[in-house]
């Protein structure tokens, strides 16, 4: 299981569903908002398999050193 954390930068509708553009590290990805319909721009989120599964509170975000120790991936 590969969990990623990212920040929502844009919300839009595509294929009749709410989608988000998410900044993950230095890259961007597109993800479904199906499981977290109340997410908004600026929210930090947890992503699994390309789907946002949860919003994160600021105290739940991994620090830069924790991410580096895990090889750049949340575990």
- Residues whose CB is less than 8 angstroms from the CB of residue 4 and which lie 6 or more positions away in sequence, other chains included: 24, 46, 47, 48, 73, 74
Confidence at residue 67, expressed as pLDDT on a 0 to 100 scale = 47
- What mean pLDDT value characterizes the chain? 83
Which of 16-25, 39-48, 55-64 has the least mean pLDDT? 55-64
Record the tokens describing residue 4, joined without a space: 């990623």
Q: What fold, for 3-68? A: SH3 type barrels. (2.30.30)
Q: Give backbone dihedrals phi and psi of 57, rounded to 5 degrees, phi first.
A: -85, 155
Per-residue pLDDT tens digits for 19-33: 999 999 899 999 999
Domain residue spans in the chain?
A: 3-68
- Above 70 in pLDDT, residue 61? no
Q: What is the pTM of this model?
A: 0.76
Rg (C-alpha) for the chain, rounded Å, is 12
């Amino acid at each position: 299981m590969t969990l990623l954390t990212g920040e929502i930068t844009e919300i839009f509708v595509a294929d009749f569903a709410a989608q988000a553009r998410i900044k993950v590290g230095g890259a961007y990805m597109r993800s479904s908002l199906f499981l977290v319909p109340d997410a908004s721009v600026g929210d930090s989120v947890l992503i699994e398999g390309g789907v946002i599964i949860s919003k994160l509170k600021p105290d739940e975000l991994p620090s830069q050193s924790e991410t580096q120790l895990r090889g750049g991936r949340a575990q």
